[in-house]
Amino acid sequence: MKKEKILSVTKPFDIRFSEVDSMGVVWHGHYAIYFEDAREEFGRKYDLGYLMMYDKGFFEPLVDLSFKYKKPLIYGMKPEITITYRPSDAAKIIFDYEIRDSKTGEVYVTGHSVQVFMDKTNYQLVLTNPAFYEEWKKRWEVDQ
């Protein structure tokens, strides 16, 4: 049985004043931005950036994005977000997320996202993995 390779990135970040409500708690809409920042960091580390995919002829729209709040993030905290790639045979890019307190390791938020491929020329959904993505999966040994 082949051991699954795990591709993951952890990125520290600050909770800024502009991200919290009057109670000092992060407004729920900012979690999407934290997840986006994690996806960009993943792309830098593993050569799967948005501009590279765009240059190959594709958009990668989000079709599923979810959060599970376990504890509120508070102004002044310095949490970290971990993004983990989840391999799939389908023409999708799937990630799991975890936001933790960087000091205690306590989990505050978990989440999940799914992106699909869309041909940038005619805006059509692509139902099979583009060649560049198949090559990427082989390079990082995450092909199913």
Domain span at 127? 8-139
CATH code of 72's domain: 3.10.129.10
Domain membership flag for residue 27 = yes
pTM value is 0.93
Tell me: the pLDDT tens digits for 105-117?
A: 999 999 999 999 9
Strand partners of residue 130? none
Domain membership flag for residue 1 = no
Domain membership flag for residue 3 = no
Domain membership flag for residue 144 = no
Closest CA to 136 of 35, 58, 62: 58
Tell me what pLDDT residue 1 has: 47
CB 83 within 8 A of CB 100: no
Question: Does residue 144 carry a pLDDT above 80?
Answer: no
Closest CA to 111 of 8, 34, 9: 34
**Number of domains into which the chain is organized:** 1
Tell me what pLDDT residue 9 has: 98
What are the Cα distances from residue 56, in Å, to 4, 50, 59? Answer: 27, 10, 9
